[in-house]
Structure 1
Amino acid sequence: MASLTEEATSVEQSFKTLEVACDELRHSRLFKKLLEAVLKTGNRMNDGTFRGGAQAFKLDTLLKLADVKGLDGKTTLLHFVVQEIIRSEGVRAARAAKEQNSSVSSVSGGTDDLSEDVGDDTEHYKQLGLEMVSGLSDDLQNVRKAAILDADALTIAVASLGHRLVKANEFLNTGIKSLEEESGFQRKLAQFVENSQAQVTRLLEEEKKLRLMVRSTVDYFHGSKGKDEGLRLFVVVRDFLVILEKVCKEVKDAAALAAKAAAANKKPAAAAAPAKGGKQPSQSQQSFRDPRQALKPAIQGRRAKPDSSSSSDSD
């Protein structure tokens, strides 16, 4: 009896994880922002081809973003997508922090002029935005947990619980019903069967609801109804988050190296007077180099080959 209760509780926890995972995906503003950037990048690459102007794409495409590389063999489409959004995310985070500090100052009697903008420190905002993007995995913790669940195993577990409950009920009605006097065991078993029946019935209903919820979440991101792939949605997103973390680290490391090189060259550069009217590239521009230059040949190659399979599979 204890085993049945423990298994039912375990299934309930798994169902709760799936429910929260669907909610995390649907309501993650940053995840949607990334998808929008991927879609815009794909349409830009496929401009002039039958793939251009897509309104949605299969989430499997996220796993292919690291496959299309520039001439340097390192810069990928995902590097480009990350660079596209980190500044705006940094500005957003800075404004949110400023508003929060303003609220605290107001309560304590201080003043803070929110009319002033957050400034124009591009490198600072990109660093801040990079932290936000690399932290997406933490915002989707239940998605990662859901990725290790097996939909078929959960279905089998619920069916097994129902079968065992039927057996317990049969034993209650036939095996010990012949006893002349009602025993304490008989009363406990009857109470257990009654409670378990309500729990298993609830699990059966919850399973149906969650199947529809997962399917609805997949259709929500794909923009149309597709085939039922079980819980593969969460596996794809989990694997994408791993790739995203790796790319964010590479962008951060590259920016640090560029900043270090810029600092080392600053002294010799200061000794030589710049030409009149000449402009030196800022440390911000050097630290976060635009990956579009490295990707330009790849993008042009994509436009020349509209039937290529290495681009996003837009619906």
Structure 2
Amino acid sequence: GNRMNVGTFRGDAQAFKLNSLLKLSDVKSVDGKTSLLHFIVQEVVRAENAQARKSPTAQSPAPGRQDMQDDLKQIGTQVILGINAELENVRKADGQDFDTLKNSVFKLVTGLQSLEKSLAALRDTAPSSREKGEEEEEEEEDVFLDVMTKFMSRSVSSVERVKQEYDTVLVAVKKLNVYFDGDAKKDDATAFQIFHIVSQFIVMLERACADTFGKKK
């Protein structure tokens, strides 16, 4: 792109937006079938095959040795398909419902705050029970307060940790969007679409490998 646009404001690009990866299969050759993504797959496999031949333990394929050629081709395709394994967590993130995640964290925080207020109100009413001489009820309330206070003590730290991790993830995802897309103004839900873009590209890459070299047996 820089070479084609030399001398223009488009000719000095330092990177590309991540969603541009999804357009690689739209650019077709004259046959209307082979896409730019197919070409990239072929070039990556060719480069990996060349690297494999340079290995000290590699054997030069003899003329007519189709099995050796197939082995070299498999080395290249394994490198490409290995991207799927490396980005497994990205595909898992794509399967998450952001709204559900956000609401769950919100409910945890607000629910704990509501419980804390209820316990505080219960402590305030405890003396009046003792004044009425309701000893049995007083003991039950004391046990309940003791159990719930311990629960609150454990829960506060856990919920705070969940909230902090959620905020940390959100900040990291927004930084990814700035780095790959240059957009710092995306809302929280839109920011997580970056995982969907990568997940879609992995599917496209696997399909291009299958089209070029046949489905993996």
TM-score, normalised via structure 1 length: 0.54
CA distance 1:66–1:45, shift in 2 (3 Å): farther
After superposition, the C-alpha distances for 1:257-277 in whole angstroms (9 at most, x for unaligned) are: xxxxxxxxxxxxxxxxxxxxx
State how 1:146-165 maps to structure 2 within 5 Å. Answer: 146-165=93-112
2:90 corresponds to 1:143: yes
Deviates more, 1:228-237 or 1:116-125: 116-125
Pairwise CA RMSD: 2.8
2:67 corresponds to 1:67: no
The structure showing larger relative contact order (alpha-carbon pairs under 8 Å, at least 6 residues apart) is 1
2:171 corresponds to 1:242: no
State how 1:294-305 maps to structure 2 within 5 Å. Answer: none
State how 1:230-309 maps to structure 2 within 5 Å. Answer: 230-253=191-214
How many pairs are equivalent?
Answer: 193
1:227 corresponds in structure 2 to 185
Report if the CA contact (8 A) 2:22-2:201 is conserved.
yes
CA distance in 2, matches of 1:173, 1:50: 65
Report if the CA contact (8 A) 1:151-1:230 is conserved.
no
2:152 corresponds to 1:173: no
Report if the CA contact (8 A) 1:63-1:239 is conserved.
yes
After superposition, the C-alpha distances for 1:171-196 in whole angstroms (9 at most, x for unaligned) are: 22223652533543322211111111
Of the three residues 151, 156, 172, the one matched with 1:197 is: 156
Deviates more, 1:171-180 or 1:62-71: 171-180
Report if the CA contact (8 A) 1:90-1:132 is conserved.
no
2:135 corresponds in structure 1 to none
> Where do 5+ consecutive residues of structure 1 fail to align?
1-41, 99-115, 255-315
CA distance 1:62–1:128, shift in 2 (3 Å): same
CA distance in 2, matches of 1:226, 1:162: 27
Report if the CA contact (8 A) 1:91-1:118 is conserved.
no
Match of 1:235, SS? helix
CA distance 1:211–1:43, shift in 2 (3 Å): same
Larger Rg: 2
- Deviating 4+ runs (over 6 angstroms): none
CA distance 1:226–1:169, shift in 2 (3 Å): closer
TM-score, normalised via structure 2 length: 0.76
1:82 positional shift: 0.9
1:302 corresponds in structure 2 to none
CA distance 1:216–1:80, shift in 2 (3 Å): same
Instruction: Give 2:89's aligned amino acid.
Output: N
1:49 positional shift: 5.9
Deviates more, 1:54-63 or 1:85-94: 85-94
Instruction: Give 2:185's aligned amino acid.
Output: K
State how 1:1-12 maps to structure 2 within 5 Å. Answer: none
Instruction: Give 2:114's aligned amino acid.
Output: K
CA distance in 2, matches of 1:93, 1:153: 47
Of the three residues 37, 41, 49, the one matched with 1:78 is: 37
Report if the CA contact (8 A) 1:172-1:186 is conserved.
yes
Of the three residues 170, 184, 198, the one matched with 2:143 is: 184
Instruction: Give 1:191's aligned amino acid.
Output: K
CA distance in 1, matches of 2:150, 2:113: 14
Taking only the aligned residue pairs, the percentage that are identical comes to 38
> Where do 5+ consecutive residues of structure 2 fail to align?
62-67, 130-137
1:118 corresponds in structure 2 to 58
Match of 2:34, SS? coil
